[in-house]
Amino acid sequence: MSQSKSDIASMSGAEQAELIRTRQASPVEVTAAVLERIHALEPTLHAFCTLTEDIAIVDARRAEEAVMRGDELGPLHGVPISIKDLICTKGIRTMSGSKAYETFIPEEDDIVVERAKAAGAVMLGKTNVAELGYGGVGWNMVAPVTNNPWDLTKTSGGSSAGSAAAVATGMGSLTFGSDGGGSVRGPSSFNNLFGMKASFGRVPLYPGCRDERHPGVSSWETIEHIGPMTRTVEDSALLLSVVVGPDMRDRHSLPQADFDWLGVIKEQFKGKKIAYSPDFGYPLVDNEVRELTARAAKVFADDLGCEVVEDTPKFPEMGEAFWAIVMRDSDLVGMRAFLEKGLIQIPHLVDGLQRKWTAEDFSEANKIRQATVNVMWRFMQKYDLLLSPVSAHPAFDHGLYGPASINGTPVGRGDSPPFTSVFNWTGQPAASIPAGFTKAGLPVGLQIVGRHLDDAMVMRASAAYEQAAPWKHVWPEIVTNLAAAKAA
């Protein structure tokens, strides 16, 4: 083997797959390299809540035997992958960051897990989440707090916290997160990753959000997405090529796309008309976030020949409407039973479960959602894409559910712009792509939003931006220090 273990762990998933296909490295060698990285960094980062090392080794050996026999290999053959702990895995504990599910072992895989396994992926384990996924953080009552690899005193984001920390440090190049309000895009922004929320229905969901037997896990049905979080656009395209497409278990699932996910990222992207909004009309956006995302938007004009216009959709007053939709989609009866047993602690979820919701609360929220959808399709008639920050702020301190202040102004719940959640309402494709770093060394993400079902445009634009402003070579110090120690 010509590559060192450190080299292999730092490769993209597509590069690891190519090594295996061309027999430059075996699945066992690739898995061993990633496990070595996990052994070195996991005690500090706590990205995994359940590490399935034994299963990974067995899967890798089987994958190696298939290579040696000359079997036809799937697109992920022998490549290690992690799975967010809200996504069901047959025979592997799925706690969902909850005391209520601390010992829960699903009897079936989620559809994305089925499809990833069928494509040859090697399971590394489950990554840590916020309690039941109801928060943008990585701490709960059942696992150690996930640390941000760029600054261990900060959150990795959420609820796909562990997935982000794992991929950002080469503890597996491929992962699946889930996104009901920004839980793929937010952690990707905080960790210098590419995170793709494909159009609603592109990636089928079951049993999560579609199986009434599991309170809490079966939530957010009309806004939830599962999506890849990776260090390259190509890796996300690779994962999506494997898992998209209809399934009878998800009534919302879409027919196969009329484009090739890996092919479209190689197509030319120039001359598009693009809107850029620095704030969606909300005043509380961190000054460095504004500066970095504006600079990233300028790449589309200066390097990619696009017309970039500063413009903002005129959204209706949303208030608590998004939270009302979340609670409407949640199993209130089941989770209230958990609350009575002291099994839920996340404050805004406790408040939501204690509130006496009415049918009018939910119907009024849905009217605002419908109005928002209408605003967006009318706005997008003028533009091929919309750019914005992913988050109004960089990663914040542990122990909080959001920053204490932005630009010196105290921040309360609901004060931050709905940069990500609005596109869970509309179902539009939206990605987070690295936009640079603050003076404190914290990553910031640019959001790229497409028209209804135009995932191809988002992927094409993301790949073009990656080529113009690459980031794959930039690693957090915790990784570079590891490499330096090995070389010494």
From 82, 98, 156, 159, active-site residue: 159
**Do β-strands 225-230 and 273-276 pair in parallel, antiparallel, or remain unpaired?**
unpaired
Q: Position 239: which residue type?
A: L
From 173, 183, 218, 432, active-site residue: 183
Residue 159 falls in the annotated catalytic set: yes
From 10, 12, 84, 126, active-site residue: 84
Residue 173 falls in the annotated catalytic set: no
- Cβ-contact 262, 241 below 8 angstroms: yes
Residue 163 falls in the annotated catalytic set: no
d(CA 439, CA 436): 10
The residues pairing with 112 across neighbouring beta strands, listed in sequence order, are none
Which pair of structure tokens corresponds to residue 330?
């949640």
276, with CB counted inside 10 A (0-12, 13-18, 19+), is buried
Which pair of structure tokens corresponds to residue 378?
């009318």
Which pair of structure tokens corresponds to residue 154?
């900060």
SS3 string, the chain, reads: CCCCHHHHHCCCHHHHHHHHHCCCCCHHHHHHHHHHHHHHHHHHHCCEEEECHHHHHHHHHHHHHHHHHCCCCCCCCCCEEEEECCCCECCECCCCCCHHHCCCCCCCCCHHHHHHHHCCCEEEEEECCCHHHCCCCCCCCCCCCCEECCEEEEECCCCCHHHHHHHHCCCCCEEEEEECCCCCHHHHHHHCCEEEECCCCCCCCCCCCCCCCCCCCCCCCCCCEEEEEECCHHHHHHHHHHHCCCCCCCCCCCCCCCCCHHHHCCCCCCCCEEEECCCCCCCCCCHHHHHHHHHHHHHHHHCCCCEEEECCCCCCCCCCHHHHHHHHHCCHHHHHHHHHCCCCCCHHHHHHHHCCCCHHHHHHHHHHHHHHHHHHHHHHCCCCEEEEECCCCCCCECCCCCCCEECCEECCCCCCCCCCHHHHHHCCCEEEEEEEECCCCCEEEEEEEECCCCHHHHHHHHHHHHHHCCCCCCCCHHHHHHHHHHHC
Peptide bond into 10 cis (omega under 30): no
Catalytic residue numbers?
Answer: 84, 159, 183
